[in-house]
Amino acid sequence: MMIKINISSNVIGEPILAESMIETKTALNISQAHFDSTYGEIIAEVETDDFKSIREALESKGAKVTVLDHPIVRDEEECVECGACISVCPGHVFSFDEEWGIAQDIEKCIQCGTCIKMCPHHALSLEK
């Protein structure tokens, strides 16, 4: 599953990510990270079984963890299966199947919204 970890300015200098991973022996597969002096935001994939323990570890050190559970939705009526969305997605969610239709691996979606602007047919949305 995909999670978002927010680190606020008061703890930003501390290695809480590394500590939490070592403590819980959990691997976080980081797909995007943003840090500056005021905040940090990390998008990462974690095994569902490990989620509870890593969340506890991170939150005990002052981070905020949110589950990204509203991945991209594709309206199959609107979609013409062009493939325009494929190259812009940082999560590699979309690909062509053998018949040149669109295959998608929704689990990898980090909800960045980039594909929504790309789609010429308004077929994609991040519905809440």
Partner 1 sequence: MVEKSIEEINRRIKEGSVNVVTAEEMVGIVGELGAKEAAKEVDVVTTGTFGAMCSSGAWLNFGHPEPPMKMNKVFLNGVEAYSGVAAVDAFIGAGQLSETEGFDYGGAHVIEDLIRGKSIDLHATSYGTDCYPRKTLDTTLNIYDLNQAIMINPRNGYQKYNVATNGINRTIYTYMGSLLPNYGNVTYSGAGVLSPLSNDPDYQTIGVGTPIFLGGTKGHIIGEGTQHSPETNFGTLMLRGDLKDMSADYIRAANFHEYGTSLYVGMGIPIPILNEQLAQSTAVTDKDVVTNVLDYGVPSRDRPVLRKVNYEELRSGSIEINGKDTPTSSMSSFKKSREIAGELKKWVAAGEFFVNTPSQRLPAKATCKPMRQTTRNPLVQDIMAKDVVVIDENATFHEAAKMIMENTFSHLPVVSEDGKLAGIVTAWDISKAVAETGCNYVKDIMTKRVLTSNATDPIDIAARNLDMKEVSAMPVIDKDRYVIGIITSNDISKLFARRR
Q: Kindly list the residues in this chain that would bind ligand SF4 in the complex (CB under 6 A).
A: 72, 74, 79-85, 89-91, 93, 102, 109-115, 118-119, 121, 123-124
Q: Contact between 84 and partner 1 (CB under 8 A)?
A: yes
DSSP 69-112: ----EE-TTT-----TTTTT-TT--EEE-TTS-EEE-GGG----
The stretch among 10-18, 24-32, 41-49, 115-123 that binds partner 1 (CB under 8 A) is 115-123
Q: Contact between 109 and partner 1 (CB under 8 A)?
A: no
Nearer to partner 1, 49 or 77 (CB): 77
CA atoms within 13 Å, Cβ hemisphere of 31: 19
Q: How far is the CB of 47 from partner 1 (least distance, A)?
A: 27
23, with CB counted inside 10 A (0-12, 13-18, 19+), is: middle
Q: Contact between 101 and partner 1 (CB under 8 A)?
A: yes
